[in-house]
């Protein structure tokens, strides 16, 4: 199985036998359902599409709140409607976690890009502004990639090779070492 969809529960810590305290993020992964199987003949590449967190009153087209496609080398062994659980992660040591980070809204340059700002006293008019942004008449425009105010957060973040501390198959829980992007109860896409 190439991956699974889960929901972030929150952070805690695990104390090992030698006394080491490890910060972990708990992710619940209720059994995912195979929604679609893509093959080389029909779609041009082999993949499976998983659905997670089913609606209570599903419509004709929307049955799951979270859907994710995972590429596979071979689609044999997968059937539509098959359930995928955390049992497939028993031997996995490290995973790749993808989620959307917390949105922080429209922010200025001091918070967004760690600008120092200007002096706060003695009649200075320059406090939290970005300062000069343009160039001379030659380009006559603001260059691409200039650090300016704008939307902060709410971006897709991928963390690779995160150690998987424990798999609790009876509770459908994963304990991932360290933090995982996103707010509690947000969807997490796990590859291994």
SS3 of the chain: the string is: CCEEEEEEEEEEEEECCCCCEEEEEEEECCCEEEEEEECHHHHCCCEEEEEEEECCCCCCCCCEEEEEEEECCCCCCCCCCCEECHHHHCCCCEEEEEEECCEEEEECHHHHHCCCCCCCCCCCCCCCCCCCCCCCCCCCCCCCCCCCCEEEECCEEEEEEEEEEEEECCCCEEEEECCCCCCCCCEEEEEC
pTM: 0.86
- Kindly state whether residue 115 falls inside one of the protein's structural domains: no
pLDDT at 117: 92
- Kindly state whether residue 80 falls inside one of the protein's structural domains: yes
CA atoms within 13 A of residue 48's CA, in its CB half-sphere:
25
- Kindly state whether residue 126 falls inside one of the protein's structural domains: no
Q: What percent of the chain has pLDDT over 70?
A: 99
pLDDT at 134: 82
pLDDT at 154: 95
- Kindly state whether residue 110 falls inside one of the protein's structural domains: no
Contact 177, 27 (CB under 8 A): no
- Kindly state whether residue 61 falls inside one of the protein's structural domains: yes
- Kindly state whether residue 159 falls inside one of the protein's structural domains: yes
- Kindly state whether residue 140 falls inside one of the protein's structural domains: no
Domain span at residue 158? 3-102+154-191
The number of folded domains in the chain is 1
pLDDT at 192: 87
Alpha carbon distance 168, 49 (integer Å): 24
Positions in the chain whose pLDDT score sits under 70: 1
Domain of 86, CATH number, reads: 2.40.30.10
pLDDT at 109: 96
- Kindly state whether residue 57 falls inside one of the protein's structural domains: yes
CA-to-CA dists, residue 158 to 48, 53, 182, 188, angstroms: 20, 21, 11, 10
């Amino acid at each position: 199985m190439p991956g699974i969809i889960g929901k972030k529960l929150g952070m805690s810590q695990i104390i090992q036998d030698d006394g080491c305290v490890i910060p972990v993020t708990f992710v619940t992964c209720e059994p995912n359902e195979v929604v679609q199987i893509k093959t080389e003949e029909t779609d041009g590449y082999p993949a499976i599409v998983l659905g997670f967190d089913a609606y209570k009153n599903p419509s004709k087209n929307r049955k799951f709140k979270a859907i994710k496609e995972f590429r596979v080398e071979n689609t044999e062994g997968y059937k539509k409607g098959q359930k995928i659980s955390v049992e497939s992660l028993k031997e996995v040591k490290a995973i790749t976690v993808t989620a959307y980070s917390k949105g922080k809204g429209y922010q200025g340059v001091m918070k967004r890009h760690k600008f120092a700002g200007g002096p706060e006293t003695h009649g200075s008019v320059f406090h939290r502004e970005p300062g000069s942004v343009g160039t001379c008449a030659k380009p006559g425009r603001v260059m691409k990639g200039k650090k300016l105010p704008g939307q902060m957060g709410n971006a897709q973040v991928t963390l690779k090779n995160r150690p998987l501390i424990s798999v609790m198959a009876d509770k459908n829980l994963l304990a991932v070492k360290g933090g995982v992007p996103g707010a509690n109860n947000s969807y997490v896409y796990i590859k291994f």
